[in-house]
Amino acid sequence: MVAVVLFCSLYALCSLILLAYSIQCYVLTFLFLRKRKFRMTSQRGVMTYFNTARDENAYPRVVTQLPMYNEKSVALRVINAAAAMDYPTSRHEIQVLDDSNDETRTYVDTVIAELLKKGVRISVVRRMDRTGYKAGALQNGLKFTDAEFVAIFDADFVPKPDFLKKSMAFFIDRPRLGLVQGRWSHINRSASLVTRSQAMGIDGHFMIEQAARSWNGLFMNFNGTAGIFRRTAIESCGGWQHDTLTEDMDLSYRMQLKDWETEYVPDIDVPAEIPEDINAFKNQQFRWAKGSIQTALKIIPLLLKKRMPPFKFLQAVLHLTHYVVHPVMLFLALLNMPVLLLTHFHLSFMFFIAVIMTILIATSGPSVMYMVSQYYLGQLSWRKLFLIPGMMLIGTGLAVNNGKAVLEALLHKESPFHRTPKKGSITQTTYRPLKDITCIVELMLGIYCLTCVYLFLGSHNYIISPFLMLYASGFLFVGMLSLVHYKRPELIYFKPSFFRAKETIPV
């Protein structure tokens, strides 16, 4: 009897947690919609501020930092793009924060020498070691500049020429504005089903979530790239720190706890490369999941000490802990069989309807948010609906990878900052993502969930079977993709002509 109560209670708790995070998608979508028209109209007016400026002294001094480590496939692209930004040379300098130990160093030195001859203010900053990884490089770079503002781009990003002019306009006459964040767009969206699914997920985050938080006075995180900080905002809250794997989220929260403001601008988009290798994508997700929970453990105690509206506090906690859904999904999948074997119940018609509605809400929240984001990005088509199942499979299949990351964060297990390999313009590269045996665990869990489906159908508990089929399909899909790409990293998989579209790729 005790076991029955325990398993059923855990099952109900996990279901409620997933329901809460799904409802959060609806909340953020509502918050976005209610401010969208006014804020975007206002922002478009602000972005024209420097269009007629003639005096170079009217432009604030900016340093663009380009942190990189062994990025030979994309280093030249991002450096040239940064140098091509339309901003007075006397007010703009570029720092290449190069921690590389391979031929990237030669690539960087060559392109910098060429740009210096053209009058570009550019330098390379190198360190004896990688202490603090990216956070350490960014903090170290500040020692070599007195610029008032700091723009940051990862190596796989390609800023547009008007990025600085549009972004810097928001800082005029706003002394408490500490951060302007741009939106990520995608160079290689059409490469495969995996990249298309990633692109839609990223669009949902940037078009809906970031806008909803920024425009409604909630805590918003810097996304590590495609943004500009006011230098005093960085320094006032302790600078870049490397005790978490998401130094960007950590700094932006500490900054806002010091009452600095943020501005998210979806009309300022910066093209970037999405990981095409499923294992590279999993590495990236692992770092984000672990870093987010590390940041939550660090920041939530500080939130408790800060006076703020309860809704703002709740939104911050949900934001910082959103990767908790992955271990919860794992628990739910594992609990299905013991709950089935230990309990025997029959649902009344009304309770059956209630359960069905709960499941629909729990599974539809993210999909609704993604579709709304595609609509306001002008990219919604009936074909996009066919990406939703792929997104659900990948999101479910990541539960093992990200669940492991969350567990390591809770156990305070340290791990280095592993950058995500980029493809860039080099077709043959020696950069490969880290690989482990999580794909075996994913396949085993897929088989386990299929067994549960068989048992549930045999006991006439049809209501949970579709949910379990999603789990089984997700684990098997991601596990098989990971295993195949582990053995054959040169494969480009799942690129149906049905989704193929022409795209302009910056070079």
Give one DSSP letter per residue of 360-377, joined into a string: HHHHHHHHHHHHHHHHHT
Q: Which are the contacts of 269, defined by CB distance < 8 A and separation ≥ 6?
A: 160, 182, 183, 184, 185
Token pair in block for residue 31: 């918050």
Expressed in percent and rounded to 5, the helix, strand and coil fractions of the chain are 60, 10, 30
Q: Helices 325-342 and 465-487, interaxial angle, to 10°?
A: 130
Question: Beta strand pairing status for 92-98 and 122-125?
Answer: parallel
Residue among 161, 164, 153 nearest 91 (CA): 164
CA distances from 406 to 181, 197, 292, 298, 337 (A): 26, 22, 9, 14, 24
Residue among 80, 51, 32, 72 nearest 315 (CA): 32
Mapped onto helix, strand or coil, the DSSP state of residue 180 is strand
The arrangement of strands across the sheet holding 177-186 comes to 122-125, 92-98, 62-68, 149-152, 227-230, 177-186, 261-272
* C-alpha span between 11 and 4 (Å, rounded): 11
* C-alpha span between 374 and 381 (Å, rounded): 8
Token pair in block for residue 439: 């794909």
* C-alpha span between 256 and 233 (Å, rounded): 9
| Residues with active-site annotation | 99, 248
**Contact 96/123 with Cβ under 8 angstroms?**
yes
Q: Within 10 Å of residue 378's Cβ, how many Cβ atoms?
A: 6
Q: Which are the contacts of 114, defined by CB distance < 8 A and separation ≥ 6?
A: none
